[in-house]
């Protein structure tokens, strides 16, 4: 085996050891403590929070503002978001005093080549998400050692055994999941106790909010994700991968 082929395996093994050690050290910490320590722990490295500024995003945004206001916050402006989301993002970032907002957009040349009429979502939602979300996020995260997500164990599937720290396979980065152990209702309680502003579309029946063409309200009693890509066998945009496969459950960031 050549030196060049051995290096990625060595780095991945080292990341797995670091993740295991971090999980052991922070196993009994609260979400806010895990996040605060991760943002100041040299073993974690440089982190960014990836936020959709969606229905529950204010929780981690508020925690980041308390723990380290200078933390880079990456917001994927796909060009197809609700106006309410764009206004909410601006108002919330200002209210929380976030000092390093990074508005990430799809590459102009890629849009012109792959979706000149902005209709790709009508023929292939996977291709549209790859163009407008996955590819821009990959570029935005290239300079970071890891990123913070809002995923939780109760969302099921591959997330049922989610740890606070995990390795993003294929990217040689850490993922930090401060809310991994939260239960349904904890986010709402946190928002209410801290008097944080909700996304305006939540009150209109949108418990999960993505791009406008692919998001619709849900009926009472329906799963929170029922309004995302309605009528399709799809529940994730693809920014979360495990062993090269999409994670098909729950909120993303």
Catalytic machinery residues: 237
Conformational region of residue 244, where left means phi above 0, alpha means psi within -120 to 50, and beta covers everything else: left
* DSSP codes, 99-153: S-EEEE---HHHHHHH-TTS-HHHH-HHHHHIIIIIHHHHHHTTT-SEEE----G
222 three-state secondary structure: coil
In whole angstroms, give the CA distance from residue 54 to residue 198. 9
Q: Which of 186, 193, 52, 205 is nearest to 132 (CA)?
A: 52
In whole angstroms, give the CA distance from residue 194 to residue 22. 28
User: CA quadruple 103, 104, 109, 113: dihedral positive or negative?
Assistant: negative
């Amino acid at each position: 085996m050549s030196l060049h082929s051995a290096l990625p395996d060595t780095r991945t093994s080292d990341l797995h050891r670091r993740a295991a050690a971090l999980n052991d050290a922070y196993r009994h910490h609260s979400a806010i403590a895990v996040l605060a320590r991760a943002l100041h722990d040299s073993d974690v490295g440089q982190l960014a929070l990836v936020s959709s500024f969606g229905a529950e995003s204010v929780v981690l945004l508020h925690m980041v503002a308390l723990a380290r206001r200078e933390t880079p916050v990456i917001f994927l402006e796909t060009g197809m978001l609700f106006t309410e989301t764009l206004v909410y993002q601006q108002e919330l970032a200002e209210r929380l005093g976030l000092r390093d907002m990074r508005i990430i957009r799809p590459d102009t040349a890629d849009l012109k080549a792959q979706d000149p009429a902005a209709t790709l979502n009508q023929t292939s939602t996977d291709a549209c998400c790859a163009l407008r979300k996955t590819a821009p996020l990959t570029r935005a995260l290239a300079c970071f050692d890891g990123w913070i997500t809002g995923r939780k164990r109760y969302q099921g599937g591959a997330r049922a055994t989610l740890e606070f720290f995990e390795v993003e396979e294929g990217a040689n980065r850490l993922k930090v999941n401060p809310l991994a152990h939260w239960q349904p209702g904890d986010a709402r309680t946190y928002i209410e106790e801290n008097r944080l502003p909700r996304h305006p579309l939540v009150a209109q029946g949108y418990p999960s909010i993505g791009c406008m063409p692919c998001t619709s309200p849900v009926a009472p009693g329906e799963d929170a994700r029922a309004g995302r890509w309605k009528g399709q066998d799809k529940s994730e945009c693809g920014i979360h991968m495990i062993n090269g496969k999409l994670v098909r459950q729950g909120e993303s960031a």
